[in-house]
Structure 1
Amino acid sequence: MNAPLNQPNVSFREMQIDDLDAVIQIETVNFPFPWTAGNFKDSINSGHICLVLEIDELMIGYAILMMVLDEAHLLNISISADWKGKGWGRHLLNHMMQISREQGGLNMFLEVRPSNVSAITLYESIGFNEMGVRPGYYPAHNGRENAVLMGVAL
């Protein structure tokens, strides 16, 4: 059976160094203090799970996952502003959770700015719970901003 003609081709693939211009473009629009190309290169070179989400070969998002024994730590996840609010962030996060399970992960953790209400709402809807606060974790325009530490059993 063939897919409908208007069905987009959705795929995940490993992030490559050549992807960093597109990744940085999304990153700088979405975050007030974005990761640098060097941060992404370090993650790729460290062997972290670095994936991009593409629709019809257009990169619309990416995620960086670090596995430490049976713990998965989501370091970064983002969807292009043009594609937000359409369920793609949930799709990418669910995919990263599945990869974590396949890698032997029992729990996933992440940090999020308390001011990022849409991300917190998404995480909570998938089952993440607040586990604590990391004081002064993020740079902010007026000093530092705390991070909410969230986790979910996989």
Structure 2
Amino acid sequence: MSAAVVSVERPRLRPMRLEDLTDVMEVERAAYEFPWTRAIFRDCLRVGYSCFVFETSSGLVGHGIMSMGAGECHLLNICVHPEFQRRGLGRELVNFLLALARHKKARVALLEVRVSNTAAYKLYTQLGFDEIGIRKGYYPARYGREDAIILARDLTVPFEPDGKKRASR
């Protein structure tokens, strides 16, 4: 996807399908130095995780994967193509998945983020996530491994659409 063909239309969210995986991998490789594999995405679809893509008339520009269980949701992969970042798509995707998790009666949302991914960390904290721990050496890195920051959000506490806690009345 070149800058010359970047779409100005608003991407729409829809469920991911098996036939999307070639395009999903293109977005994943554009966004991450250490992307997930096609097999991981295929397995997420196979086991019934909540898998969604952002789509424009030009193709896919992002995706999100969430697992659910025991009253918790785990945001496993939130990815927006670099040419579409900083347009609110990551925020929209996270908020959509959290609303889905609440609908499915999840009480807590969890995720991990690379220590070096300061933009994502800032987004998640703006959306009400709090740091609860570190996973040492969780991610592959160019020179060894990189730690992950574990973040959690209480889904029973009302939040505004921008992620801020509602004032008590």
What's the TM-score, normalizing by structure 1?
0.91
User: Structure 1 segments of 4 or more deviating over 3 A?
Assistant: 7-10, 55-58
Residues of 2 paired with 1:87 and 1:123: CA distance? 12
Is contact 2:30-2:82 (8 Å) kept?
Answer: yes
Is residue 31 from structure 1 mapped to residue 14 from structure 2 by the alignment?
A: no
Please say if 1:143 is aligned against 2:138.
Answer: no
Kept in 1, the 8 Å contact 2:27–2:60? The answer is no
SS at match of 1:127: coil
- Percent identity, aligned pairs only, is 37
- Higher mean C-alpha displacement, 75-84 vs 53-62: 53-62
Residue identity matched to 1:15:
M
For the residues of structure 2 that align with 1:70 and 1:11, how far apart are their CA atoms?
28
Matches within 5 A, 1:46-57: 46-56=47-57
Partners of 2:150 and 2:33 lie apart in 1 by 19
Paired residues of 1:54 and 1:61 also in contact (CA < 8 A): yes
2:83 partner SS:
helix
Is 1:18 aligned with 2:44? Answer: no
Specify the SS of the correspondent of 1:32. Answer: coil
Give the superposed CA RMSD.
1.5
Deviation at 1:57, TM superposition (A): 6.7
Structure 2: which amino acid aligns with 1:86? R
TM-score by length of 2: 0.83
Structure 2 residue runs of 5 or longer lacking an equivalent are: 1-7, 156-169
The reply on whether 1:95 has 2:92 as its aligned counterpart is no
Q: How many residues align?
A: 148
Secondary structure of 1:60's aligned partner: strand
Rounded Cα–Cα distance in structure 2 between residues aligned with 1:27 and 1:33? 9
Distance 1:126 1:92 in 2: 11
1:108 and 2:109 matched? yes
How far residue 53 of structure 1 moved from its aligned partner, in angstroms, is 1.7
Stretches of structure 1 lacking an aligned partner (at least 5 in a row) = 1-6
CA contact (8 A) 1:9 1:56 kept: no
Residue of structure 2 equivalent to 1:80: 81
1:117 aligns with 2:118: yes
- 1:10 is displaced (CA, Å) by 4.4
1:74 counterpart letter in structure 2 = L
Amino acid at match of 2:66: L
Please name the residue that 2:69 is paired with.
68
Per-residue CA deviations over 1:106-143 (Å, capped at 9, x if unaligned) read 11000000100000000011111110000111111111
